Amino acid sequence: MRDNKNNNSKNNNFKTKKALGQCFLTDERICERIVSLADIKKEDIVVEVGPGLGAITKHLVKKAKKVYAFEIDNEAIPILKKNTSFSDNLIVYNEDILKADLSFLEDIKEDVILVSNLPYYITSPIISLFLYNVKKVKRMVLMVQKEVGDRLSAKVSTKDYNSFTIIVSYFSKVTKLLNVSRGSFTPSPNVDSVVIEIDKIDREIKPLDEDLFIKVVNSSFKERRKTILNNLQSLYTKEKAAIYLEKASIEPGRRAETLSIDEFINLSNVIKNEL
């Protein structure tokens, strides 16, 4: 029987760092499957966040025209380079992705796809960064913890539906691609995982001010058990919040989790017009 385990960290005496979200993929079939699901064409450019020791990277470089990989841990870099030494299309940045200057991506002519087995402790900041700051990336294939996958595909009025669900679904269509058990990683995380695809969409109905829309959504969910009228008071006076809700035809006693994306767009437009 074929042994599908890679022993990158063991063979290289690498000590994994929990604080950096280092759960390395050791199941080779999963690494290959992720890259195959990412459907990379030979003219595509790939950005990989957290290549680690190269479990996914070594497959990505075989498919893409070029791979830009951002890894914060300088101790991982020599092993990453060794594991991808057969390739000449990998550019490694020893940088924190949340601080890196990514403006060069906007000048690339080819399609740019983000692929990552994400460091889970910064899942939302990374997704947010590529959703609305890095315009050039239109598609992401990401390993996230199962709970995040559930939240991102949650329907209105369910327990998983929150501000992140609304903001991500405003910008994109999310599809679950593959369930991955905790046994596929070393060390094993204490949660199961799922590979998702985030495909950016161009909405017909857009808010007048996207930043305001995001602000209104976030404050409406500030305290889940409070009504939308109460939560909006972190931004506006009670009187103003009540007027905005009335003009947007939203019952002030409702909770944010019962509002659809279109209702939030309408509410932020009412507020924009009143400001």
Residue 47 or 245 with smaller CB distance to ligand SAM: 47
**Quick check: helix, strand or coil at residue 263?**
helix
Residue 21 or 207 with smaller CB distance to ligand SAM: 21
Residue with tokens 């996914």: 56
Cα 246 to Cα 53, 146, 237, 249, distances in angstroms: 55, 38, 14, 5
**Smallest separation, CB 50 to ligand SAM (Å):** 2
**Smallest separation, CB 26 to ligand SAM (Å):** 8
Helix (H) or strand (E) run with residue 194 in it: strand 193-200
Residues near ligand SAM, by CB under 6 A:
20-25, 49-52, 55-56, 70-73, 76, 96-98, 117, 119, 122
Residue 23 or 271 with smaller CB distance to ligand SAM: 23
| Cα 234 from chain centroid (whole Å) | 27
**Smallest separation, CB 111 to ligand SAM (Å):** 21
| Beta carbons of 114 and 130 less than 8 angstroms apart | yes
Note the residue count of the chain. Answer: 275
Residue 23 or 245 with smaller CB distance to ligand SAM: 23
User: For residue 272, what are its two tokens?
Assistant: 């924009």
Using CA atoms, how far apart are residues 90 and 244, in angstroms rounded to an integer? Answer: 51
Using CA atoms, how far apart are residues 223 and 221, in angstroms rounded to an integer? Answer: 5
Residue 68 or 264 with smaller CB distance to ligand SAM: 68
**Smallest separation, CB 54 to ligand SAM (Å):** 7
Using CA atoms, how far apart are residues 265 and 89, in angstroms rounded to an integer? Answer: 42
Residue 177 or 242 with smaller CB distance to ligand SAM: 177
Closest residue to ligand SAM: CB criterion: 50
**Smallest separation, CB 31 to ligand SAM (Å):** 7
User: CA geometry: angle at 126 spanning 69 and 210, to 5°?
Assistant: 130
**Smallest separation, CB 269 to ligand SAM (Å):** 35
